[in-house]
Structure 1
Amino acid sequence: IAFQIGIFLVSALYFRRLVRAVISPRCERIGFFLYVFYPPFIFHALLPVKDILIVSCAVMFFYHFLRAVELKKNKPLIFAGLFLGICINFRGNFAVLLVVCMIFLIRKSGITRGILLCVAAAAPVLPFTARNIFVAHDYVLTSSVGGIHIYMGFNEKARGTYTFLENIRPSTFGHFYDSKKIAEQATGTAMNGSEVNRFWKHKTAEYIRANPYSAVRLLGKKIALLFNRIEFANNFSFDYFKEEYFLFRFLNVPYDFGVLMITGVIGLLFVRFKYKWLFVSSFVAVSCSMLTIFIAGRYRLPLAFFLMVFSLAWINAFLAKTLKLTREIVVIGILTACISYQIPPQIRGFDSGAKQKHIYARRQKQKYLKLGSKNYMEHYYLEKQKYVAEFTDENILENHTVSSGLSSK
């Protein structure tokens, strides 16, 4: 956590430089404070999750990428590729950024520099790919759980946010081992990770073909949830922390995703700034990639970065008195607020799973105080071994049954 807090603070300095280069020097200090004091950024920087590292690397990627474009040098381009590769390693959907930026770079500087960016981005990914090939004997780029995540986003019970699937426990182990068991039972054959991945993607395609209108409605619901102000919980609930823990109550301020949506959309639609279409294309591409799975507040954190850039473009135009408050801007602002501040029907139960994890954490703290440090650690590792032992590849075809809802057609 200390490491990612440090990276986050470094990325704030990069964001300030990026604002100076893309928007205006007059807004760089405002941009720094908007970035470093954004409550969801602070919240996730203090948690044992990797999402703030992704945002930080994305900021550093754009800074080095645009510096490479401006200076026409390869060194910053290599740095940009390395940071983008780290993002792709953590979140495979960031590969869409590589496509967008390669097209932009090829049009600006030619195919050679586009290839260099691609090679640099591949460098952080290749060690994990090599491990998958030589250790797991599976040709997977980074991870093989993308298929089950896509199915969670599009199935009969999907509602836009995280969906509990029958016989699949809601954990990293469950998403891999339980989904593997179900896929192997449905097909009657042993499968490696990439084959399981294809199985669930095929199940998703079957659902969409059989229920096109439901799939379109579900997609519309996910678009509404993606741009909603609410931080939909996954593992940790932002709203729960603000209510239950004193140290997080200072995050309960009227500066949230909804505010960024209003100011960001105005900046996107009404203000010109340097490399605008690169940022707009990247924002659209990353947003679309997020719609393929389920919506969670921590997964959409990178969108806040783009909205900050758009918002700062509007703030700069306002300070420079080049943009007046017109009727069109007021109407767009009101419409955006209506979209972002609506209350979704599932809001009453969307973070129940996250709250259960907080209750579990509180019970663990009580055990720690009761047993003492040494005894608690022995108890913790024993329980962890039992948990991991529940997930096994042995005899899965003989010892498990599959519900009809998940069986192969």
Structure 2
Amino acid sequence: MTAACLMSTYQPLALSFTRGLGTRLWDRQGREYLDAVAGVAVTNVGHSHPRLVTAISEQAGLLLHTSNLYSIDWQQRLAQRLTQLSGLDQVFFNNSGAEANETALKLARLHGWKKGIGEPLVVVMENAFHGRTLGTMSASDGPSVRLGFQRLPGDFIKVGFGDLKALDAVTREFGARIVAVLLEPIQGESGVQPAPPGYLKALRDHCTRNGWLLMLDEIQTGIGRTGRWFAFQHEGIVPDVMTLAKGLGNGIPIGACLARAAVAKLFTPGSHGSTFGGNPLACRVGCTVLDIIEEQGLLENATQQGERLLARLRVELNEHPQVLAIRGQGLMIGIELAVPQRNLVQRAAQEHGLLINVTRGKIIRLLPPLTIDSKEVEMIVRAIAHLL
């Protein structure tokens, strides 16, 4: 069997891994790599964590799937944990982040329907990314994501990320039809763009005044990535709806849409569903991930090592002609370059045994596991400095 059997939606490196442990991966030749991608912010507690290996093995030997026709104990446990951590009230479990965002968009539609709005609109952000379904593509930005998929659902208004004046303008023009605002607290795919300080709080106040839902896509920022359980907690607010995936399952597919009780009750039996969503395996893994993060102090480690990584990069790359900006929060860091660097990912792997991600051609994205230590931070800094 060859790669010719696969649809050409990806352009992977000619690099394949056979095993992983913690922050490290090993290829077919046995070479070791430091993983600063974590499956794109997925393996937050590292590869092959023994607690997860045990949980997956035990649950596979007990029960993988029953469907939501029956009560699922692990699903109820995970929902309780997530609502306690977030301050939201109820959860719907999906299989992915895109599905979680579709769930949020359906709640926004129902919110509008309840208010008697026949053609509801959702405010979204320029340069956002929310998924690959037709609905979440419509809420996303960027020609590469939307190319060839015309006549997408048009129930969205885009405004500049962090631009409160633009929000005021669309409120004046379309306020009677707007039902929600959907955004990432830190835009990931567009190059790790944090929301300006106070922006989320201003959105919270604006949505409350206007009766809109504040919906946060925390698929990449959630589950400890920024040093808090959820990025919104840095601003001291609570959204009406939040979506999760990625780090919640550490590699086992799971998504979740959380909502305040008044919003969650818009769903009634039969109005939404998922065959696999919230199955025993995925939810037991989710509970175990939360346990590991709490017991190993990984929120604190993400904060400390993220601050160290940012500071060291800024010192090492200060006034580097190729570096325009270094930004981020916790262990979600972007290095914006002046010009695209071809083969940067491949060179990092070949020359330094370092796995990085480059988005939009010229933004190095660092998303290591939350278990990273100070020596590994130094390894990343030295490798990036040599690459540039």
TM-score class, shorter-chain normalisation, is under 0.3
Q: Which has the higher helix share?
A: 1
Q: What TM-score does the superposition give when structure 2 sets the normalisation length?
A: 0.26
Identify the structure with bigger relative contact order (alpha carbons < 8 Å, sequence gap 6+): 2
Q: What TM-score does the superposition give when structure 1 sets the normalisation length?
A: 0.25
Larger Cα-atom Rg? 1
